[in-house]
Amino acid sequence: MAGTHIKRSSLASIADSLTTVRERIATACELYNRQPSDVRLIAISKTHPVESIRAAIDAGQLNFGENQIQEALQKIPAVKTPGVQWHYIGPLQSNKTKHLPGNFRWWHTLNRIDIAARVSNKAVELGTRIDALIQVNVVNDPAKSGVSVEGLSPLVEQLLESRLNGLNLRGLMTIGPHGGNETALRQCFGDLRKLLETTRGQFGLTNFDQLSMGMTNDMEQAIAEGATMVRVGSAIFGSRK
């Protein structure tokens, strides 16, 4: 992956694509009375080489998302740029939890107490912390990961009772319905926003304020409903390799 060579024209197009995505974000923010600075763009770099990541960094992008531990462990040491933050957005097996602390700043897919405890313990061992988002399967799609809407409150209660000192609980993440229309997307993302507000109030979580939702095809609907992070891959890097 790190040794893959791609054409200069392709690298230049990444900068152009980033400009286009940022314009989409700014337009949506203006339409829905939000500030573009309140929406963090996560460039989903999975399956794309380090050269592409460096091209994005040269264009001012500092947040990148990966969903395979082994692939990410090849890329992260190759990118030394100060200020770059890595986001883990994939499912996490027990034997891979040790790799999150020290490599990733954000974990978007927390959905089990046992995995969370493993990640936290390793973070404490390393003297660091990870900002964590709980993945919620809002649309109850059996093909999607995440805790159910009904299971969210019990999971948060477990997490807090376990006093996981290596984790900062920062908010929620979801994936919108595949092929959903405007109404279905807005409903899904709006439901996640309401869950965030309810959970923050119920448990008194003052820093529980992040909503990771919206991708290439539905970021506008997510921004309309309060997304603070949008996860965009193909619109920046092109189709997966």
Choose among 116, 119, 115: nearest CA to 102: 119
50: helix, strand or coil: helix
**What pLDDT does residue 143 have?**
85
Average pLDDT, the chain: 94
Which token pair is 209? Answer: 């304020």
Determine the average pLDDT of the residues in 216-236: 97
| Residue-range domain boundaries for the chain | 8-237
Q: What's the half-sphere exposure (Cβ side, CA atoms, 13 Å) at 121?
A: 10
3-37 pLDDT, tens digit per residue, is: 445 555 578 799 999 999 999 999 999 999 999 99
Q: Does domain 8-237 have CATH number 3.20.20.10?
A: yes
Residue 234 scores a pLDDT above 50: yes
Which residues are within 8 A (CB) of 122 and not within 5 positions of it... i.e. 6 or more apart?
97, 98, 100, 101, 166
Tell me, what DSSP letter sits at residue 96? Answer: G
| 81/67 Cα distance (integer angstroms) | 20
pTM: 0.94
Query: What's the pLDDT score for residue 14?
Result: 96
pLDDT for residue 151: 97
The mean pLDDT value for 68-77 works out to: 96
Average pLDDT over residues 113-123: 98
DSSP structural state of residue 67: -
Q: Provide the pLDDT for residue 11.
A: 81
Distance CA 178, CA 196 (A): 22
Residue among 91, 88, 40 nearest 66 (CA):
88
Q: pLDDT value at position 6?
A: 55
Mean pLDDT throughout 90-118? 97
In this structure, of 96-100, 143-147, 172-176, 192-196, the range with the lowest mean pLDDT score is 143-147
Q: Is the pLDDT of residue 165 over 70?
A: yes
Task: For residues 111-123, give the mean pLDDT.
Answer: 98
Quick one: 14 exposed, middle or buried, by C-beta within 10 A (0-12, 13-18, 19+)?
buried
Residue 218 has pLDDT above 80, yes or no: yes
Tokens of 16: 């152009």
